[in-house]
Structure 1
Amino acid sequence: MSKDGFNIERFMSKSGSADQYERQLRRLTSGGKSVASIERAVRGAIESLEKKGRSFVIYGEPQSGKTEMMICLTAKLLDTGRDMIVHLLNDSVDLLGQNLGRFKSSGLAPAARNFSEVLDPGVRLRGQKNVIFCKKNGSDLRKLLEKIKGWQGVVVIDDEADYASPNAKVNSGDKTRINALISDLIGADGTYIGVTATPARLDLNNTFDNDSSLWVDFPPHANYTGQDIFFPLDGPPDFIRTLLPDAGDDPKYARQALFGFLVNAAYLNLYHHPNVERNYSFLVHTSGKKVDHKSDWTVMNDTLNAILKKDQKKFPAYVEYIWRLAKVRFLDADPTRITDFILDNISRHSIIILNSERDWKDNSQAATSPSSLFTIIIGGNIVSRGVTLDNLLSMYFTRDVKHKIQQDTYIQRARMFGSRGDYLPFFELTIPQSLYVDWHRCFVFHRLALSAIKEGLGSLVWLSDQRIAAVASSSIDKSTVDLDRGEMLFSLFDFSDEVEEILDGGLDTFEKLERLSDVLGPALPDYVLKYIRRTSQGRSGAIGIHPAFDISGYADGPDIDKSVITRRRGFFGKSQAQRFPAAAHHLLVLRNGEGKARLLYKFAGSIQFIKNTANDS
């Protein structure tokens, strides 16, 4: 130390920023944000790593705030000594820029960098910690691989992990280009953490040998509006749901949806928050084809111009429709005042088409954070992933497919999910009835499957039926997925005389169901119970509650584990089905003769269960 107090040794010994995770949590809480869900996900990820997990998935709801979670997870990984963390994103320059900007503004140290910033030979990465962003395209990944060649212990955090990363050539023994490059990036001793709202493909495809028993649940925050709101199992919806006839694509339905958006936006600005004017957006999603987007644009543009220019033929009919809709929809409001507001401000509209990367780059800010009072967004596939639409008030969704709906794709289409806040009751979804039913069932199947993970089961059951496929067939590793009809098993419980009395007693079906729910608790998940109640429509004959079945007499073998009551080929056979031939829902308690039991649920309708047995022991 010098005479004036300068001590170079003190500065040489500093190891850099510490407690980054806690600082990130403080940043969020100081801004009024809840961090409970983030803490749970990060804690779960660290526990999976401590179990020597090298490949697992963090799954959550669409639009549920995963970017902040990934910032906090990165901070925690840096705190634990990880020195190379690579974030992979969809092949979109603007989406990469948005996420990279949020990471940089968080105050994370080191600051996150785009891979292009580190390619120069003069940029030295060794001897320091690194957070690097890279798009999922072949050229970028190859350049990054060359730069970090030989690096040990790389952590790959894969945003929208089910997109581009799974190996679509899994059944041919080959690898797709992106899958192979990411495998090389992970290397022999790296770690893969996939982040997605739709993990089915990652499980069925066994992407990067991820272990579903180590998957981590990222629950939505308290203000989240998701599948429980937009696809409720029972009761009226908490938003405006307008169901269209299934036949035809008459432009009048698009116009009527536009009028509904104008009326709702006007009402909110006049009556709900009269002192603060807000801009709102309306998403039109009818197709992935550009020619269809042009047709949608024509309908919107012609309708708005007819109102703006007071077209002699169309103006009277359009304005009368708006006035009458306002009168019927909002009984506490003056329909003339609402109509005046719309006519006075109709010129303050913008129509944005998003059907390409260039469109997104040029118009993403105006679409995600509307700068016009009435913002209409016409979009295809590009609005399905990684896009958060602030102040989205209405959605016109008529897109259908001739073949099976692909479950993971349609879950990502739910752009109305997120923080809709106090204007949720005024949100309007306009959609053909059959498409809404299919979309609804997508989420039912999705949640039933994920409930198995939350119950601590390592083996998943993914469901599909004649119209809804779990994932694209090319992504399924047929060597580890049983495509036969299957069954769902929930958590183990202690078998008791009380359970046996309920099953064998004289109670009617619905009384038995209620008693079982009271006694079994989480071993009969509430969500399954609600689904059974709703789809049975009060018909007791639709539910078969079987006597308890003792599996202790089954022959021992490699396909059965009696201690935890699992069997690769399932337990439910024809003899059980014939006991209740008219039932759609079957509940069977399996006991192992050692005091333990497990509830089996089988849907005997047209649902096909796809069970992945890769992680069965």
Structure 2
Amino acid sequence: MAFDINKFKNLENKTDQYERQIARIKGDGKDISCIEKAVNEAERNLNDGINSFIIYGDPQSGKTEMMIALTAKLLDKGNKIIVVLINDNVGLLEQNLRRFSKSGLDTDPKNYKEILDDVYQIKDYKWVIFCKKNASDLNKLIKKIGKFEKIIIDDEADYASPNGKINKDEVTKINQLVGELLGGVGKTGRYIGVTSTPARLDLNNTFENANNKWVYFPSHKFYTGQDDFFPANLNNGNLKYQLEFLPEQYDLPQYIREALFRFMINVAHLNLFENSEEKYYSMIIHTSGKTSDQFRDHDDVVSAIDILKDENRFEKYVKRIHEIASSKYGDNKADNITEYILQNKNRNAILVINHKKDKENLEKASDPKSLFTIAIGGNIISRGVTFDNLLSMYFTRTVKTKLQQDTYIQRARMFGSRGQYLKYFELTIPEQLYKDWHRCFVFHRLALDSVKSGNPPVWPEDRRTRVAARASIDKTTVQMDSGEMSYEIFDLTKEIENVFSSGIVPLEKMKRLRSELGDNKLPLHLINFISYFSPDGPNSLAIHQPRTIEGYKDADKNNISRKKGLIGDGDLEKIKYPHAIHHIKVFFNTDKKARIFYKFVGISGTKFLKNFKK
């Protein structure tokens, strides 16, 4: 048979990469439905000409696998260059690059440094290129591929990519360079940001992302996250894990030591009485962003383990371990657990991770190679790193002013696939910090609930929490409502008046009003906020009878507004509604045009931020 070169042409034009990735993920026993949903919606956005949008999901919910599948889909659709941007962290870059390479993608992903040599010609070939969000790295990559069409997948997109000087008519360096790499949204580049905390991207208008076209990446069925660690109702006492509150004066070595002992006890119990084979586990200690504090914590842990090695000094510590083991798992198991710890005390790794170049320690901590692995650090371990077999977290890092919601949501490193051992997981934390952290998550979910309903997000904050850094919030398009809020004008029909006068419970009354009026006149995010923050149940909400605006001399009767606000103290009817912290009242004019007004009197300083960009 004669040789025919045509048989061997166009073999690279495969269109089954996505299906092969889905089969691989499914073969690993993982849930594929969440990945398929996100990838299909992202594909729909691109087909509809949405050239800049965000994919958001929960922390440590499997976004890397989703990005691999998304990359495969983009290659199948004929896109030639996919750039994956990673935080400026060598260890994180290598961790992600390794996972992409092991997936079997065709073409094999490259570190940007590999393609800089002139011998590599970009041409019309397919490329998957990884690059850190570092000015030097981005400049080099721009010179190599800047003129070519590309899709950027920006992992942890709210980190470094937004313009932190947006209100100064200046541009931060990474924002500028990522913009240059894009070459203009919809011109030579398309942008897909991926993150758990998209607030800053919205309020910053980063790369003109369409906040009404964001894609939700749902958590897989094995995920443990906000509902498990920060349940909406903290009063039912049914936590699925072990929560240890620290006293107000918690900055003493004994509290880290006690948490260390409890971690070792839980490891021992799992390996002695639960696991079919021995497993290695890790503990995170996060007390500060200062290197000196992290080395102090390191020394406290080393000192405790050193004493366990010395039989002349270890009686006090061994007795304490035995007491804790007995109280947690019973007298009949305490001896075995204590013996296991003493027999295996040398099988430890105490790792400080406080620098971008600590990649070896980062790898050892994220995939434990020692029975008792203790990771001590701050910012480096707080974003983008997945910790397998994480069993304990000692977290005391707080701030003097307000907790920034996006920062603290990223610090929830305990989220992930913890289901098999969740009831043995321990979080050690000061009580007030836990409550503030809990509020960050409640506010975050309220905002994202509005996105899921097809609306742009509305971001709540209060006197103890802040949505995002103020310098990143675009003041030209973002409005901040505090105290009294109002919504779009509507016709006050007899049917609407009947709903107000009906005897149904207040929250159901609001839902019925919304079904009649629509989201612009009574937003879903407001109903969600009220339902979350109702400490006295139905009595927390007062829906007052409609009132004419005609008695207000300084009101704009056509616009149904007043500079000083319309809901006064008398309108709150405090005698009738003594427990109400949420107040709803309608004001109307002589033409029966009306607005709904809302006032919150529960937590001082509560505000709602919304981007009103066109």
TM-score tier after normalising by the smaller chain length: 0.7 to 0.9
Shift of 1:537: 2.6
Compute the displacement of 1:25 (Å): 0.8
State the SS of the aligned residue for 1:383. helix
C-alpha contact 2:285 2:375 (8 A) present in aligned 1: yes
For the structure 1 residues 252 and 144, does the alpha-carbon distance in structure 2 shift closer, same or farther, using more than 3 Å as the test? Answer: same
Matched residue type, 1:271:
F
Give distance in 1, aligned partners of 2:334 and 2:496.
Answer: 59
Stretches of structure 1 lacking an aligned partner (at least 5 in a row): 561-566
Counterpart CA distance in 1 for 2:278 and 2:421 is: 13
8 Å contact from structure 1 (residues 456, 491) kept in 2: no
Q: Helix, strand or coil: the match of 1:611?
A: strand
Q: Is the 8 A contact 2:166 2:472 kept in 1?
A: yes
Change in 2 beyond 3 A, CA 1:12/1:241: same
- Secondary structure of the 1:483 match is strand
* Alignment partner, residue 7 of structure 2: 10
- Paired residue secondary structure (1:81): coil
TM-score, length-scaled by structure 2? 0.88
Cα offset for 1:579? 3.0
Q: Distance in 2 between matches of 1:170 and 1:479?
A: 10
TM-superposed deviation, 1:490: 11
Say whether 1:156 aligns with 2:152: yes
Q: Write the deviation string for residues 22-48 of structure 1: whole angstroms up to 9, x where unpaired.
A: 121111112211111111111111222
Q: Which residue does 2:226 correspond to in 1? A: 227
Contact 2:479 2:612 survives alignment (8 Å): no
Which residue is equivalent to 1:467? 464
Aligned partner of 1:259 in structure 2 is 261
Please list, as runs of the form range in 1=range in 2, the aligned pairs for 1:136-535 lying within 5 A after superposition: 136-151=133-148, 153-188=149-184, 189=187, 190-234=189-233, 235=236, 236-273=238-275, 275-312=276-313, 315-331=314-330, 334-358=333-357, 360-458=358-456, 460-485=457-482, 503-507=500-504, 511-513=505-507, 532=530, 535=533
- Name the count of aligned residue pairs: 594
In the alignment, the residues of structure 2 paired with residue 199 and residue 11 of structure 1 have an alpha-carbon distance, to the nearest angstrom, of 46
Question: Given that residues 446 and 528 in structure 2 are in contact (C-alpha distance below 8 angstroms), is that contact kept between their aligned partners in structure 1?
Answer: no
SS in 2 for 1:213: coil
> Cα deviation per residue 1:272-329 (whole Å; 9 max; x = unaligned)?
11x31111111100001111011111211111111121243xx232222222222222
CA contact (8 A) 2:18 2:70 kept: yes
SS at match of 1:214: coil
Q: Structure 1 residues 263 and 501 mapped into 2: Cα distance closer, same or farther (>3 Å)? A: farther
Identity of aligned residues (%): 48
Shift of 1:550: 11
Q: Does the residue aligned with 2:99 lie in a helix, a strand or coil?
A: helix
Amino acid at match of 1:206: N
Residue number in structure 2 paired with 1:586 = 583
Aligned partner of 1:563 in structure 2 is none
Match for residue 564 of structure 1? none
**Aligned residue number for residue 552 of structure 2:** none
Q: Choose 212-221 or 574-583, whichever is displaced more.
A: 574-583
Deviations 1:191-249 (A, max 9, x none): 11111101111111111111101111111111111111111111321101111122341
Distance 1:527 1:211, change over 3 A: closer
Are 1:244 and 1:431, in contact at CA under 8 Å, matched by a contact in 2? yes
Distance 1:398 1:143, change over 3 A: same
RMSD: 3.5
**1:376 Cα deviation after fit:** 1.2
Equivalent AA in structure 2 for residue 240 of structure 1: Q
Once the two structures are superposed, what CA deviation does each residue of 1:457-491 show, in whole Å capped at 9, x if it has no partner?
12x21122122111111111111111331789999
Amino acid at match of 2:480: L
Distance 1:494 1:418 in 2: 48
Q: For the Cα contact (< 8 Å) 2:308–2:345, is it kept in 1?
A: yes
Distance in 1 (CA, whole Å) between partners of 2:122 and 2:388 is 38
Q: TM-score scaled to structure 1, two decimals?
A: 0.88
Stretches of structure 2 that go unaligned for 5 or more consecutive residues are 550-554
Q: Is the 8 A contact 1:457 1:491 kept in 2?
A: no
Instruction: For 1:105 and 1:280, locate their aligned partners in 2 and report how far apart those are by CA, in whole Å.
Output: 24
Q: Separation in 2 of the partners of 1:486 and 1:54?
A: 37
Give the distance between the partners of 2:376 and 2:76, measured in 1 at CA: 43
Distance verdict in 2 for CA 1:351–1:471, change over 3 Å: same
Contact 1:462 1:470 survives alignment (8 Å): yes
Deviation (angstroms), 1:263: 1.3
Q: C-alpha displacement at 1:554, in angstroms? A: 9.1
CA contact (8 A) 2:133 2:160 kept: yes
Q: Compute the displacement of 1:19 (Å).
A: 2.1
Task: Give the conservation status (yes or no) of the 8 Å contact 1:60–1:218.
Answer: yes
Contact 2:542 2:582 in 1 (8 A): yes
